[in-house]
Amino acid sequence: MNLDSIIALDQRITLWINSFNSPLSDSFWVFLSDTKIWFPAYGVVMGVMIWRLGWKKGLLMILAMILTVVAADQISAHIKDSVMRLRPCYNTWMLQHDLHLPLPRYSLYGFFSSHASNVYSFAVVSLMGLNLDKAHKHSAYGWGVFIWASLVALSRIMVSAHFFGDVVVGTLFGLAIGLVFGLGARFLTKKL
């Protein structure tokens, strides 16, 4: 399979996913894509982190969560400017094949998804931090945070900001960088 056929497949998958839209679902996907709604949730998780782990370990895990999201965001933004792959909303072929656009266009380039990398990196580090609390099981949080991350990632396709491949790479990058920061933070918490 050559690069052109991979790109064509990515375009078709993106169009197929994006075709499952309605005025009601558009509002839901736009809501999930809005980064401002994430901050209250981040704050709650940080509060629970300090409550469950104590202030030293809690602050260390909070620092790891902040650093991983900042690193994921900045690295993905830099790669977007280096790769310069147009977002679906600027791709002529996608527009000619009825790409649904529930929002105004974004910046030009979209490879890879910062939203996906940010939410998955946060999910990994926050779950690793909460799992330091051996007195409680956090499986419900684990399921919840990864479902939320998956929905946010999917929202980027639904609002025509990213191709399917952009989201997959962003997800994998977020998982990897989250694991690195999470393991580093867990190592440091054992030194406390």
DSSP-based three-state secondary structure for 92:
helix
| 44-102 per-position pLDDT tens digit | 999 999 999 999 999 999 999 999 999 999 999 999 999 999 999 999 999 999 999 98
Spatial contact of 78 and 106, defined as CB atoms under 8 Å apart? no
Spatial contact of 174 and 120, defined as CB atoms under 8 Å apart? yes
Going from N- to C-terminal start, the domains of the chain cover: 3-191
Please give the angle made by the CA atoms of 94, 162 and 102, to the nearest 5 degrees: 70
Burial class (CB in 10 A: 0-12, 13-18, 19+), 103: middle
| 155-185 per-position pLDDT tens digit | 999 999 999 999 999 999 999 999 999 999 9
| 122-168 per-position pLDDT tens digit | 999 999 999 999 888 889 999 999 999 999 999 999 999 999 999 99
Q: Tokens in use for 16? A: 């197929």
The long-range contacts involving 30-33, CB below 8 angstroms and separated by at least 24 positions, are: 30/102, 30/103, 30/155, 30/159, 32/151, 32/152, 32/155, 33/103, 33/115, 33/152, 33/155, 33/156, 33/159, 33/161
Q: Is the pTM of this model over 0.85?
A: yes
